[in-house]
Amino acid sequence: MTGAVLVLNAGSSSLKVAVYGADGGKRRAAATVSGLGQGRPQVAVKGDCAPLPEPPRLPVTDLTVWLLELLSLRTGSIAAVGHRIVHGGRHFDTPVVLDDAAMAALEDLVPLAPLHEPHNLNGVIAAREIWPGAMQVGCFDTAFHRTQPELAQRFALPREMHDDGLVRYGFHGLSYQHIAEVLPDHLGAAAKGRVIVAHLGNGASMCAMRNRRSIATTMGMTALDGLMMGTRSGAIDPGLVLHLIEARGMSPAEAGDLLYHRSGLLGVSGISADLRVLEASADPAAEEAQALFALRAQQAIGGLAAVLGGLDALVFTGGIGQNSAAMRARICDGMNWIGIDLDQSLNRAGGPVLHRQTARVPILALPTDEESVIARATNALLAARTENAR
């Protein structure tokens, strides 16, 4: 694997690493550490890597270093490392080499993505320490949405605030980019039509696409907006936030903790942020949490379809979107008015095709692959640098 390209997705509860050939070929190996901050982490390895030992109880930064050091012993030399960076702001709209200036600019964006950005940047720091000669490349979840019309990116705030960067950025862009790339394989020419992609997981959002480009999305300036999520509230009355601070005496930090960490499926159910746990529960609160999650998703589909002027396809992806037949059924229930007609047997089978043969709107469940998007972008920048050096 001389000159391999490594992809690192360092998150708050997991670390995902994949190794690709330097020619941009298929993935050679992958390792995932899950359950960070939730007891003993678990390691899963696929491909050519030898089994990894059980991860130690370390902070995420140190655990990132541990994992990368182990992989460096197994994968040989690393020519470049591609990183998922959640927030790129207004200026990072394409993959970039992460030099000191880029890292300083990204540090300024940490307050806009406090759950993700610090871990993303710590992954870069760890990879720099282990492979100081490797090119470090940042790929941004916000970049895919920069094709949205200016109006779709605006809040109803004073113009000077918009000009200062208080805009709707949108997230999960690497996932949406992958889905956009594979849509023609499943929809043919209809892939260029009016498509809504639902990336549903612990973090959840939807994207309205036309011609496989982002037209509108549910998340805003931060990854707190839009759909109900695992522990995040999603869209909420801003007056409620003022009430929490002014009338209930919460500090901004306490309000942030409530909305980011103690709301969503976890807050409504009082049981778990894991949909699988809630689906197995007979507690009425678990049922209410699932019903509210589905309702918020239905409302988003209706709103995005209005922006698109109709709907030509609906695509589910993400951990919940791809794997929960029950939640897909909840979301599609009662949506016949817009042409959504789910085939229950196909849905239980997991897809990729989920709609009845007579349905006007195709429904798909597709796996996402953010790592392959990052690998291709990293290989492209690596090839460009090599060409320029000749």
CA distance 377 to 383: 10
Annotation marks residue 141 as catalytic? yes
- Compute how many other C-beta atoms are within 10 angstroms of the C-beta atom of residue 285: 13
Q: Strand ranges (DSSP E) for 14-147?
A: 14-20, 27-34, 42-47, 78-85, 96-97, 135-140
Select from 389, 324, 323, 332 the least CA-distant residue to 361.
332
Q: In this structure, which amino acid lies at residue 276?
A: R
CA distance 20 to 328: 33
Q: In this structure, which amino acid lies at residue 208?
A: A
CA distance 363 to 366: 10
Residue 264 phi, psi dihedral angles, 5° rounding: 60, -150
Cβ pair 357, 341 in contact under 8 A: no
- Residue 177, both tokens: 């980019």
From 48, 62, 141, 283, active-site residue: 141
Q: What is the CA radius of gyration of the chain?
A: 21
What sign for the dihedral angle of Cα 163, 168, 172, 176?
Answer: negative
Per DSSP, the three-state class of 194 is strand
- Residue 197, both tokens: 């992609």
Cβ pair 224, 232 in contact under 8 A: yes
Select from 190, 185, 229 the least CA-distant residue to 209.
190
Torsion over CA of 78, 80, 85 and 90, rounded to 10 degrees?
Answer: 170
User: Which residues, other chains included, contact 154 with Cβ-Cβ below 8 Å and sequence gap of 6+?
Assistant: 162, 167, 168
Look at the block and give the residue holding tokens 């970039």: 96
**Residues in the chain, total:** 390
The residues assigned a catalytic role are 141
